[in-house]
Amino acid sequence: MATLRRLLFSRRTLVFTAASTLGLAGGGYYYLNAGPVPCPASTRETRRPPPVWTPPSRQAMLDALEQSASPRAPAPAQDARGEEQDVFDLLIVGGGATGAGVAVDAASRGLSVALVERNDFSSGTSSKSTKLVHGGVRYLQKAVMELDYEQYKLVREALRERKIFLHTAPYLSHMLPIMLPLYKYWQVPYYYAGCKMYDVLAGKENMEGSYLMSKGKALEMFPMLKREGLVGAVVYYDGQHNDARMNVALIMTAVKLGATVANYCGVTELHKDDQGKLIGAKVKDELTGREFNVRAKGIINATGPYTDSLLTLDDPSHKPIVRPSSGVHITLPAYYAPARMGLLDPATSDGRVIFFLPWEGGVVAGTTDTPARVNAQGEEVTPTEEDVRWVIDEVRGYLSPDIKVRRGDVLSAWAGLRPLISSGSEGGTEGLVRSHLARVEPSGLITIAGGKWTTYRAMAEETVDKAIQVFGLQDKVKGGCRTAELRLVGSDGWSQNMFIGLVQRFGLDTDVAKQLSENYGDRAWTVCALAELPGEQWPVHGVRLSPSYPYVEAEVLYAARHEYACTAVDVLARRTRLAFVDVQAALVALPRVIKIMSRELGWSRARQRVEYARGMHFLASMGLAPGSAVNNDTTMGARTWWTWFEGGFWRLVGLAGVSTPSRASSFSSFKPSYSRTKFDAGEVDALRELFDRRVATAAAAVSSDASSSAAGRLNKAEIEPALKAFAREWPGAGYEGFREADYRYVFAQEGLEDQTDVDFDEFVEICGNLKDVSMMSVAKVAKKERKRIPVEKSGGGV
Ligand SMILES: Cc1cc2nc3c(=O)[nH]c(=O)nc-3n(C[C@H](O)[C@H](O)[C@H](O)COP(=O)(O)OP(=O)(O)OC[C@H]3O[C@@H](n4cnc5c(N)ncnc54)[C@H](O)[C@@H]3O)c2cc1C
């Protein structure tokens, strides 16, 4: 006993106990406080609207651009060096992430900046990314496996930028846990170690640490996951953002800092002085066709996949350095993934990475990588049917078999061009694919291209540093780069709880208030101030553009007044994201958007028709089925009037008790629609009739042909002729134009390749899937052999 007491109360035991207690307390304190605090705290200020700020109009911007070409005489007091007053220090060409980032950096250092974009801000790759703010776990894997130090440095830089990104626009970006489902035991230590290394590499800029999950926990978090063979999961953290809105926020921040910006203004010529140095450019206003000159001391080429076009304007003998490749994403309904957890398949069937991420109320899945060609005029790139099907097939591979991933569940599909840089002209490193490239031409043109969304800020810093040096702007800058701390417009008065104030002040639906708060930050107050009364008891404010989505009409007005939206597509695709979330809902909203913009911008009838046509063209590039239409009173032509008249006539005849042609009346409900519910009322009954008829005919022939269909089942070979006949009987029901390849694809999708006949349920499934497949506008299905894709060309965007 005495020995035990001596041992327990010995100095050594006491010291050990004290040290352990201290260690535990310290560790506990560190654990509780080490996690990132991603969002600014709520304060009383975040409950109040910030002062209203209205940016200069687009016309005022155009005037300022034009003024630079006929500058006023130097103001002696202001400009001791006798420089002309209105000439810009920098003209940035391209209003994607890269150009907008450069504009913010340069303007925040005190330079006078002009930025021109030939289409809408963010209309290029910058609105079509995977929306991740990331270092890239796959790139780290490459760095380690191939002992590639350059790759390691790139991941390290991106991880640092990830932290800054989330800090500068907290309302537009957030942390997202991403799960890697593991189906082999050896993968557990391998991927866990990899994710831990990712955390360590991020150092103090890390988000939450990655962790292992048991099979049961993984299925609880992600019930849609395939259970068979699952051994567990690793969860790591990255960032996610709303790319086009982030781009617009960058543009508006640059404007607030004094930059002059204009969308729909493309550079068509570059002007040089006698020494061959660039002094300005000719710009074309794409909305009016007017051309004018802009003068600047330096020009920055930030045209992404179109880099070579501008370099060729500078030097017609220029050899291309960009090798674009297109990446395809699809949006699926929200029920395919949990609301706050993404999924990553690090090794798909052909070596690519595929992400499956909740975003804006839907689930984004992608990406693919196919060599592409850029259209010099910047026409929309459209996804191919082959790419869309590849993404669906990969998604199907890791979801539970009771979830049928259907072609018709694709709500939207889009393709973005990845501007991969080959630095062939530099030091004989032909074929090398780099993170980004910043180079100076003999004319002084500075090109910044490649990289990724996550690193836009670092790229901008490097570019502006270079521009100051090359164009001798040292005297003009007020200080060094401060974009790591500079918060974008909308951030200052924002907190995560701000939406509650919006609900209380304006009587909005909660999902609408959240959407506004997360996409506009503190400017949501201004959006709400424009909101109309829907005339209901609740919500008090906020008429939705589509009943299923939280985008409201006030956003259309706000976009036109405060964010330089010039077309209906600008609103549907980049100010709100409706076209990316659900192309059919965007189609339905299109006429309303046109109407609101017409009132605000004074559009003529002719312009409204152009907007409708452009809208349809754009939505077709996002996967809208050909032949889709919506009741649009701006385009109501003779045919529509006739349809109305005809419908009214038969209704009157019906009222008079005379029987109307039944097929004609039920046919009117058979509109070709690209909808998730595939069948209209009465259609399934008609298919039942067809099925029974065909089965009966086959049964009658059974005595003469023993190989005919079994009772109640239709031979597979009969389906094609049956549906061809049905298409003739029911024109317009959507059964026209199925190709043999469509049948093959659908049989494979349904797992019916080895079956000789089908029952009625299977028949209906086949009909529905055929409609989905054949109605895609992106239908070029070319059977190509898939090659293994290198990491740097794989998912998530470098
Ligand atoms: C499929 C895909 C997924 C990606 N995912 C991610 C991701 O998850 N995370 C990430 O960090 N990065 C990602 N990226 C990379 C990232 O999206 C791009 O690096 C970035 O958007 C490039 O921006 P940019 O401004 O250089 O190009 P763009 O956004 O294409 O902008 C260039 C602009 O220049 C304009 N322009 C062209 N010529 C002229 C002219 N003569 N006059 C005026 N304007 C002109 C164009 O209209 C265009 O708007 C992804 C890329 C792709 C393709």
Q: How far is the CA of 612 from the centre of ligand 1 (A)?
A: 26
User: Closest Cα to atom 1, ligand 1: which residue?
Assistant: 327
Paired with 653 in beta bridges are: none
Q: How far is the CA of 125 from the centre of ligand 1 (A)?
A: 3
- What value does the mean pLDDT take over residues 284-301? 97
Whether pLDDT at 372 is above 70? no
Write down the pLDDT at residue 795. 37
Chain region(s) in the chain for CATH 1.10.8.870? 498-621
The reported pTM is 0.83
Q: Which of 670, 772, 676, 755 minimizes the C-alpha distance to 716? A: 755
Whether pLDDT at 367 is above 70? yes
Q: How far is the CA of 374 from the centre of ligand 1 (A)?
A: 12
Whether pLDDT at 359 is above 70? yes
Query: Cis peptide before 367, with omega less than 30 degrees from 0?
Result: yes
Nearest atom in ligand 1 to 417's CA = 53
Q: How far is the CA of 27 from the centre of ligand 1 (A)?
A: 44
Burial, 11: exposed, middle or buried (Cβ in 10 Å; 0-12, 13-18, 19+)?
exposed
The answer to whether 126 and 247 have CB atoms below 8 angstroms apart is yes
Give me the numbers of helices (H) and strands (E) for the chain, helices first please: 26, 23
Angstrom distance (rounded) from CA 797 to CA 660: 58
Mutate to test the pocket of ligand 1, among 125, 445, 618 (most ligand atoms within 8 A of CB): 125
Q: How far is the CA of 108 from the centre of ligand 1 (A)?
A: 22
User: 10 Å Cβ neighbour count for 204?
Assistant: 8
SS3 state of residue 416: strand
Write down the pLDDT at residue 699. 81
Within 6 Å (CB) of ligand 1, which residues are found? 93-99, 116-119, 123-126, 128-132, 134, 266-267, 302-306, 309-310, 327, 367, 378, 416-419, 451-454, 796-797
User: Closest Cα to atom 21, ligand 1: which residue?
Assistant: 126
Angstrom distance (rounded) from CA 197 to CA 608: 55
Q: How far is the CA of 124 from the centre of ligand 1 (A)?
A: 5
Highest mean pLDDT, choosing among 284-298, 648-662, 669-683: 284-298
- What value does the mean pLDDT take over residues 200-211? 86
* Structure-token pair, residue 301: 């080429």
Query: Cis peptide before 539, with omega less than 30 degrees from 0?
Result: yes
Write down the pLDDT at residue 672. 35
Least confident of 489-493, 509-513, 747-751, 776-780: 776-780
Percentage of the chain beyond pLDDT 70 is 83
SS3 state of residue 669: coil
User: Closest Cα to atom 37, ligand 1: which residue?
Assistant: 303
Q: Which of 696, 679, 744 minimizes the C-alpha distance to 716? A: 744
CA 469, 473, 474, 478 torsion: positive or negative?
Answer: negative
Mutate to test the pocket of ligand 1, among 119, 130, 176 (most ligand atoms within 8 A of CB): 130
User: Closest Cα to atom 3, ligand 1: which residue?
Assistant: 129
Paired with 434 in beta bridges are: 421
Least confident of 79-88, 273-282, 693-702: 79-88
Find the angle CA(115)-CA(117)-CA(120) to the nearest 5 degrees.
130
- What value does the mean pLDDT take over residues 661-683? 48
Q: How far is the CA of 126 from the centre of ligand 1 (A)?
A: 4
Angstrom distance (rounded) from CA 310 to CA 376: 10
User: Closest Cα to atom 6, ligand 1: which residue?
Assistant: 797
Nearest atom in ligand 1 to 121's CA = 49
Chain region(s) in the chain for CATH 1.10.238? 683-774
Q: Quickly state the pLDDT bin for 82 (edges 50, 70, 90).
A: low
Using DSSP bridges, classify how beta strands 291-301 and 88-93 pair: parallel, antiparallel or unpaired: parallel
DSSP secondary structure letters along 544-580: EEETTEEEEHHHHHHHHHHS---SHHIIIIIIS-HHH
User: Closest Cα to atom 26, ligand 1: which residue?
Assistant: 304
Q: How far is CA 592 from the centre of its chain?
A: 23
Least confident of 66-75, 109-118, 320-329, 517-526: 66-75
Nearest atom in ligand 1 to 326's CA = 53
Nearest atom in ligand 1 to 126's CA = 21
Residue of 540 and 676 predicted with greater confidence: 540
Highest mean pLDDT, choosing among 45-54, 168-177, 762-771: 168-177
Least confident of 39-48, 548-557, 705-714: 705-714
Where do runs of H (alpha helix) occur along 324-455? 385-398
Paired with 169 in beta bridges are: none
Angstrom distance (rounded) from CA 358 to CA 342: 6
Chain region(s) in the chain for CATH 3.50.50.60? 62-69+86-127+245-320+423-470
CATH of domain 62-69+86-127+245-320+423-470: 3.50.50.60
Nearest atom in ligand 1 to 329's CA = 1
Using DSSP bridges, classify how beta strands 446-450 and 342-345 pair: parallel, antiparallel or unpaired: unpaired
Choose which CATH entry (1.10.8.870, 3.40.190.10, 3.30.70.360, 1.10.357.10) describes domain 498-621: 1.10.8.870
- What value does the mean pLDDT take over residues 82-93? 85
Write down the pLDDT at residue 424. 52
Residue of 319 and 534 predicted with greater confidence: 319
Assign a CATH topology to domain 683-774.
Recoverin; domain 1 (1.10.238)
Q: What is the mean pLDDT of the chain?
A: 84
Q: How far is the CA of 595 from the centre of ligand 1 (A)?
A: 30
The answer to whether 594 and 353 have CB atoms below 8 angstroms apart is no
Find the angle CA(221)-CA(225)-CA(227) to the nearest 5 degrees.
105
Highest mean pLDDT, choosing among 411-425, 442-456, 527-541: 442-456
Please write the tens of the pLDDT for every residue from 108-154: 999 999 999 999 999 999 999 999 999 887 777 777 777 778 778 88
Instruction: Give the amino acid at 93.
Output: V
Q: How far is the CA of 726 from the centre of ligand 1 (A)?
A: 46
Angstrom distance (rounded) from CA 658 to CA 672: 28
- What value does the mean pLDDT take over residues 317-329? 87
Q: How far is the CA of 552 from the centre of ligand 1 (A)?
A: 27
- What value does the mean pLDDT take over residues 597-601? 97
Percentage of the chain beyond pLDDT 90 is 51
Phi, psi (rounded to 5 degrees) for 447 = -105, 130
Q: Which of 178, 173, 150, 177 minimizes the C-alpha distance to 353? A: 178
CA 705, 710, 715, 721 torsion: positive or negative?
Answer: positive
Whether pLDDT at 790 is above 70? no
SS3 state of residue 137: helix
User: Closest Cα to atom 41, ligand 1: which residue?
Assistant: 267
- What value does the mean pLDDT take over residues 678-686? 76
* Structure-token pair, residue 99: 């150009």
- What value does the mean pLDDT take over residues 336-342? 91
Q: Give me the half-sphere count of Cα atoms (radius 13 Å) on the Cβ side of residue 712.
A: 4
The answer to whether 399 and 224 have CB atoms below 8 angstroms apart is yes
H or E element at residue 371? strand 370-371
User: Closest Cα to atom 10, ligand 1: which residue?
Assistant: 453
Residue of 672 and 343 predicted with greater confidence: 343
Mutate to test the pocket of ligand 1, among 452, 454, 569 (most ligand atoms within 8 A of CB): 452
User: Closest Cα to atom 48, ligand 1: which residue?
Assistant: 124
Q: How far is the CA of 580 from the centre of ligand 1 (A)?
A: 16
3-state secondary structure 252-310: HHHHHCCCEEECCEEEEEEEECCCCCEEEEEEEECCCCCEEEEEEEEEEECCHHHHHHH
- What value does the mean pLDDT take over residues 331-350? 86
Q: How far is the CA of 504 from the centre of ligand 1 (A)?
A: 39
Mutate to test the pocket of ligand 1, among 115, 121, 126 (most ligand atoms within 8 A of CB): 126
H or E element at residue 446? strand 446-450
Assign a CATH topology to domain 132-240+324-417.
D-Amino Acid Oxidase; Chain A, domain 2 (3.30.9)
Please write the tens of the pLDDT for every residue from 621-636: 998 877 677 766 655 4
Task: Kindly give, in sequence order, each residue whose CB lies less than 8 Å from that of residue 765, ignoring residues fewer than 6 positions away.
Answer: 750
Using DSSP bridges, classify how beta strands 173-182 and 342-345 pair: parallel, antiparallel or unpaired: parallel
H or E element at residue 113? strand 113-116
Using left for φ > 0, alpha for ψ between -120 and 50, and beta otherwise, residue 201 falls in: alpha
The residue with tokens 């708060």 is 517
